[in-house]
Amino acid sequence: MQAIAARRVVSAIFFMCGSSIGLWASRIPDVKSATGLDEGGFGLLLLVMASGAFVAFPFTGVLIDRLGAAPATKIFSVAIVVSFTTIGFAPTTLLLAVAMFVSGFCIGALDVSMNGWGAEVETSLGRPVMTSFHGLYSLGAGVSAATGGLAIEFGLNLPWHFGLWAAITVPFLVWFWRQPWPQVEVITGEGGKAPLFALPKGALVLAGLIALVGAFGEGAITDWAALYQIDDLGYSDSIAPTAFTVFSIAMVVMRLAGDRVIARYGPVRVARMSGIVAFLGCLLLVSGLNIWVVWTGCFIMGIGYAVMFPLAMSRAASDPHMSKGSALAAVATLGYGAFLLGPPLLGFVGDALSLRASFGAVALLTLALPFLAGALKSPRQN
């Protein structure tokens, strides 16, 4: 019964974390406009957020191994609400950069810790549930992005929008903190302590690259899809967030069905087919023929990328050669780091060429997924 209750809590945390990303994605054009920066300058600002996440990954891996995934998740679920709220109220570009660094740290830390707790719940239940957790993350992102479009339509400014999101989230934080979960014994490094910095080993390197490619594509849609439609394709600000909403809906559909699909066909085969699907979606998005083709491309990309990150994280959590915290942090450094570091790099490409060229680069990188999929084979099968 405790595992069932914990599954509900972890599901809610994934949803809440996703809602923070959807909130941010829906208001990126407004934040960029408020700073007065071009694509390259705003890309540097996004790089500040990415650097916060990179600092968080090794720290969180150690915290999980020494304190436990559940306590760490509770701490960072509160921190992410506080940090994201400050983005909406930052009065200057400098303070915005500070708020984005802290938010990036909290995003990275919560991502690693909640995946760790999710892996423990999955083990306790004895059946795959990780993909459905990530489905609720995508659902939260999609719902938040959709309401962000409404907020823009009704003229809700940044402070009110971010503050309202925080006020709605607070009761859930109280609920999170009241849920018990036993400390799970972990395997640490030499000397009984997990190392601060850990690199993935063996097949886990390739699993990390799968997470990198999947998260790179997801980050590109999150941070640049709206601006791509506005700046390159000439669509209005109010409908631009729809691309991310459509993408998130596709992620939800595939991730909620993903556990059954993976159980039937296996992670390797599913990852290979998903990579091909994601590539085809990228081509439609890059074509920019009309708004419906763009949105269809985003939907297909969502289907293709949906299982990549959760499959890589499940593979990390079951790795026999590294402690859970270290393995999750190592894969997250490659994977979730790409979610934050990729968009700034694409911003530089967009500034030099165009955002269409940026998404063309995403398409080329996606072609690697079918060749990397073999790394997702369970260690127990080796």
Location of structure tokens 């063996």: 202
Which pLDDT does position 340 carry in this prediction? 67
Sign of the CA dihedral running 325, 331, 334, 338: negative
Please name the helix (run of DSSP H) or strand (run of DSSP E) that holds residue 235, with its range, or none: none
Among 8, 31, 20, 12, smallest CA distance to 81 is for 20
pTM over 0.85: no
Per residue of the chain (382 residues), give pLDDT as tens: 577 788 888 999 999 999 998 888 888 888 888 888 777 788 788 888 878 888 888 888 888 878 888 899 999 999 999 999 988 888 788 888 999 999 999 988 998 899 888 888 887 887 778 888 988 888 888 788 888 888 888 888 888 888 899 999 988 888 888 777 765 555 444 444 555 555 666 667 888 899 899 988 988 888 888 888 888 887 877 778 788 888 988 988 999 888 889 888 888 899 999 999 999 999 999 988 888 999 999 999 999 999 998 888 888 777 767 776 777 777 877 776 677 678 888 888 888 888 889 999 999 999 999 999 988 876 655 4
Which pLDDT does position 182 carry in this prediction? 64
- Rounded to whole angstroms, the Cα distance separating 213 from 363 reads 10
Which pLDDT does position 205 carry in this prediction? 82
Which pLDDT does position 187 carry in this prediction? 47
* The token pair that represents 190 in the structure block: 């030499």
Location of structure tokens 């955002």: 355
- Rounded to whole angstroms, the Cα distance separating 54 from 140 reads 24
H helices of 68-182, in order, are 69-89, 93-125, 130-153, 158-177
Whether 197 and 321 have beta carbons less than 8 Å apart is answered as no
Which pLDDT does position 191 carry in this prediction? 43
Full DSSP string of 276-295: HHHHHHHHHHHH--SHHHHH
For the chain, list the domains and their CATH numbers.
Answer: 2-178+193-381 (1.20.1250.20)
3-class secondary-structure state, position 269: helix
